[in-house]
A and B are shown apart, each in its own frame.
Chain A
Amino acid sequence: DTEVTQTPKHLVMGMTNKKSLKCEQHMGHRAMYWYKQKAKKPPELMFVYSYEKLSINESVPSRFSPECPNSSLLNLHLHALQPEDSALYLCASSPPTSGGYNEQFFGPGTRLTVL
């Protein structure tokens, strides 16, 4: 299995809702990432998990809360989002080696719309 899966594909939520994005990989990768991508822009790193521990938080607002329950799963919990948080949220994984970080496997993303 050489793919990263993400659910849901699309999500529309109000500013008072709580929702979660899910990501799963079965490639044995021990580094997992969340990125945010706005239209016509490059992906921007949000969080990095290495061996199930949060290793990088790119000063992301607390309304985004990541969780790594095990080595195959990564969640992103959303609460009290703003309309400007509407974007494509991408999950990725890679081997946690110096070369592995350069070759990341991305999931198809969740298209989030905040009303």
Chain B
Amino acid sequence: GQSLEQPSEVTAVEGAIVQINCTYQTSGFYGLSWYQQHDGGAPTFLSYNALDGLEETGRFSSFLSRSDSYGYLLLQELQMKDSASYFCASVNTGFQKLVFGTGTRLLVSP
């Protein structure tokens, strides 16, 4: 089976940098994705790490360390609109089932 654990809530102020961690236990691992979901909205794909290291997409970066079974999402220059829930996710062996992490609610204050 798979389990992906995240902190339940993170708070930060506008302009700051915040890191959302994800630790996982899986029987087979094929990379880590990150999704953003605003209240009442749909999950939106942010990034995918197939290999160890840092992937950068604008203000967002994602990191993966397979040896530590750990990844994180880094959000820079925080804006109020970044207040949302963030989920890490990973596909299982066989590739068809995407399992989501427990989710982190990010609250950005002025």
Q: Choose one: A56, A99, A106, A107; the contact of B96 (CB below 8 Å).
A: A56
- A contacts with B, residue count (CB < 8 A): 27
CB-nearest residue of chain B relative to A97?
Answer: B95
- Contact call B101/A101, Cβ cutoff below 8 A: no
Interface contact tally, CB-CB below 8 A: 62
Q: Which residues of B contact A101 (CB under 8 A)?
A: 91, 95-98
- Contact call B96/A48, Cβ cutoff below 8 A: yes
Interface centre among B30, B99, B100, B101 (most CB of A within 10 A): B100
- Contact call A45/B43, Cβ cutoff below 8 A: no
Q: Which of B11-19, B44-52, B65-73, B74-82 contacts A (4 or more CB under 8 A)?
A: B44-52
Q: Which residues of A contact B89 (CB under 8 A)?
A: 102
A8–B50 alpha-carbon span in the complex (Å) = 36
A4–B41 alpha-carbon span in the complex (Å) = 13
Interface set, chain B 30-57, CB cutoff 8 A to A: 30-31, 33, 41-45, 48, 50
Give chain B's interface residues, CB within 8 Å of chain A: 30-31, 33, 41-45, 48, 50, 87, 89-91, 95-103, 105
